[in-house]
Amino acid sequence: MITFRRVTDVPEGFGETAVTIGKFDGVHAGHRAVIARLRQAAEDRGLNSVVVTFDRHPLALLAPEKCPQVLVGNEQKLDLLAETGIDAALLLPFDRELAQLSPENFVTTVLTGALRAKLVLVGNDFRFGHRGAGDVALLRELGGRFGFDVETIPDVAPVDGRRVSSTWIRELLAQGRVSDAAQLLGHDPAVRGLVVHGAKRGRELGYPTANLSPDSDGLIPADGVYAGWLRVGSERLPSAISVGNNPTFDGVPQKQVEAFVLDREIDLYDQIVEVQFVERIRGMVAFTGIEPLIVQMADDVERVRQLLS
């Protein structure tokens, strides 16, 4: 997959395209259904398949107090998009200039200007342009004027009929229901960041952990202990993961993600890793002393081993 980060990055000889547009936060099952249709349509027409997305949630600029936490950071999102097999992604900086483009100017600048779009796929509730002034009807009208077709894609809904959405996935992660979130995402929820030095309490207790930097990318699930994986480079290592503020040791100001890699001693300091959550083992508990904590940690590790085996 080729990544463009501004419209001016798209070379003139890139060719005509089939395009879909959206936040694509989490690249969940609904997004993947749209992208699968995009790839098929692009192949049928001999076009390049392109996802247009943004470097931040629009509300981060327009109404920060209302902006939800994003499920993935930009690099995570680009990696997930690459897995879908599209030809290119255009990651637009959502700034004042972009936010103020009229619907027509958005089309002529991004869709027909940079990408030479011949087909645009969107959801039924798609809005675009300044203050969301454009809708699907206007997009079809502009398509007739500027030479591209518009196709709408129905929402993806599980058996209970609720539409798959980033909002729903956030709700599940807030409850620690990572396996349910994975069903909607089509992949395990994950946090990616730099391994930093911590208080080294895990090492003192016999369970050395990789501590992720507080500014890591990805939405951290509810406090607790999880079975999951730590991915570093091409390796994926089974891990017991702790999320919380260490209540047994009087707590810390911010939530921490720590991963204990099973049956392996590995120096991960100053490396970028991704911690992937598979199943929640238990909630976070403040123990009365060190010995009960060590006993519980041993039990946690055994449960993680069984779950991941």
Distance of alpha carbon 65 from alpha carbon 177, whole angstroms: 26
Give the Cβ contact number of residue 284 at 10 Å: 17
Residue 209 makes CB contacts below 8 A (sequence gap 6+) with: 198, 202, 203, 242, 258, 259, 260
Buried b (16+ CB within 10 A) or exposed e, 74-95: bebbbbbbeebebbbbbbbebe
Residue 87 makes CB contacts below 8 A (sequence gap 6+) with: 1, 2, 42, 48, 49, 50
Distance of alpha carbon 236 from alpha carbon 155, whole angstroms: 33
pLDDT in the model for residue 251: 52
Distance of alpha carbon 263 from alpha carbon 252, whole angstroms: 28
The rounded percent of the chain whose pLDDT value lies above 90 is 81
pLDDT higher than threshold 90 for residue 30: yes
Q: Which one-letter DSSP state was computed for residue 64?
A: G
pLDDT in the model for residue 105: 97
Nearest to 87 by CA among 128, 57, 52: 52
pLDDT in the model for residue 94: 96
- The residue type of 235 is E
> What average pLDDT does this structure show over 102-106?
97
Q: What is the pTM of this model?
A: 0.92
Select the more confidently predicted residue: 82 or 288: 82
pLDDT confidence bin for 247, thresholds 50/70/90: low
> Structure tokens of 250?
């009087």
Select the more confidently predicted residue: 253 or 231: 231
pLDDT in the model for residue 206: 65
Select the more confidently predicted residue: 253 or 10: 10
pLDDT in the model for residue 117: 98
pLDDT in the model for residue 274: 98
Select the more confidently predicted residue: 245 or 142: 142
pLDDT in the model for residue 266: 86
Read off the pLDDT of residues 59-69 as tens digits, 9 standing for 90 and up. 999 999 999 99
pLDDT higher than threshold 60 for residue 202: no
Read off the pLDDT of residues 133-163 as tens digits, 9 standing for 90 and up. 999 999 999 999 999 999 999 888 886 789 9
Output the average pLDDT for the chain: 93
User: Beta strand 88-92 with 17-21: parallel, antiparallel or unpaired?
Assistant: unpaired
Residues found in the chain: 309
pLDDT in the model for residue 46: 98
> What average pLDDT does this structure show over 78-88?
98
